[in-house]
Chain A
Amino acid sequence: MAAEQSRLSATHVLEYPYRRSVGPIMGRFLTGLRDRRISGVRTGDGSIVVPPLEYDPATGAPVTEFVDVGPLGVVTTWAWVTTPRAKHPLTQPFAWALIKLDGADTGLLHAVDAGSADTMKTGMRVKPRWRDERVGDIRDIVCFEPEGS
């Protein structure tokens, strides 16, 4: 009891008001989102990386060619969140998913608003739900949703 009462603790809040420069490659992708367009880059072996990386992961060569992909895509893996956390993008139960957009060779991580876990399936087709007020941020896509919804 004595030990319990003698403990001292203090609240500490750590805040960094970071503003990050995105550079020309990510900048072009984010600018595209603002215009409801999703783009990737072509790497040396011809594959399309979405979201774009500045350099070819295999060779380190700068990427130069942008390619529009999607906006529809396929879920390659998913995880169902029953109780969303404060920092999650949706307040109702949803899925995290890796989404291979049509024309892309890599997966984009985003949320899928599917209503229930029973709706989710690897291989299902999804489409983006765009934010009305877009600013050039990954959150310009609110989430993805099943193609037919």
Chain B
Amino acid sequence: MSESLKPVTAIKAPVHLEFSYTAGRASTRFLRGMAQGKILGQRCPECGKVYVPPRGSCTICAVPTDVEVEVTGKGTVTTFCIVRIPSDSLSIDPPFTCAHILLDGADLPFFALIQECPFDEVRMGMRVEAVWVPKEELGPTFESIKYFRPIDEPDASFESYKEHL
């Protein structure tokens, strides 16, 4: 009976691995800040750049960034895109806006959602602020910031963020 079966052309070879990540010193400080509704970055002792979120090192000077600085939730959109592709791994339905946001006082933009803003109004240089989850839901996670939304401030000049694209 098996002779009538087709020849084998493929096998299933799934990979399943489980890991436990440790955050490390810099990320732990940052995430603990998130749980308190604070955004904590680190300044390079040599070049003075402020990294948010910090990874514990200055990628230019290759030294530990051990000076902690708190920045506000206000910043500037340096670039953005509008996502229209659905994904099982996203907790949000498309379309939605993703942006690189350079917080005031920081030297490295990071990736976040923009909401409360029509798609055709999102733009480079737009000023935004963090919208946090309710206080009782704050935790040691980046998700303590729900998203960023526009604020009523004039756009930042291209000159002010062109080094951070």
Interfacial residues, chain A to chain B (CB-CB below 8 A): 6-22, 27-28, 30-31, 34-35, 134-137
Contact = CB atoms under 8 A, between A and B. Distances in A.
Interface of B: 2-3, 5, 7-23, 27-28, 31-32, 140
A8 B17 contact: no
A15 B10 contact: no
A19 B10 contact: yes
B36 to A, nearest CB: 13
Given A7-B23, A136-B8, 18 more contacts: A8-B31, A9-B22, A9-B23, A10-B21, A11-B19, A12-B19, A12-B21, A13-B17, A15-B14, A16-B14, A17-B14, A18-B13, A18-B15, A21-B9, A21-B10, A22-B8, A27-B7, A31-B8
A interface majority secondary structure = mixed
B9 A22 contact: yes
Given A13-B18, A14-B17, A35-B3, A8 B27 contact: yes
A34 B8 CA distance: 9
B11 A20 contact: yes
Nearest to B24: A8
A61 to B, nearest CB: 23
Contacts of B140: 8
Nearest to A10: B21
Contacts of A21: 9-10
B28 A7 contact: yes
A19 B10 CA distance: 7
A16 B12 CA distance: 11
A36 to B, nearest CB: 9
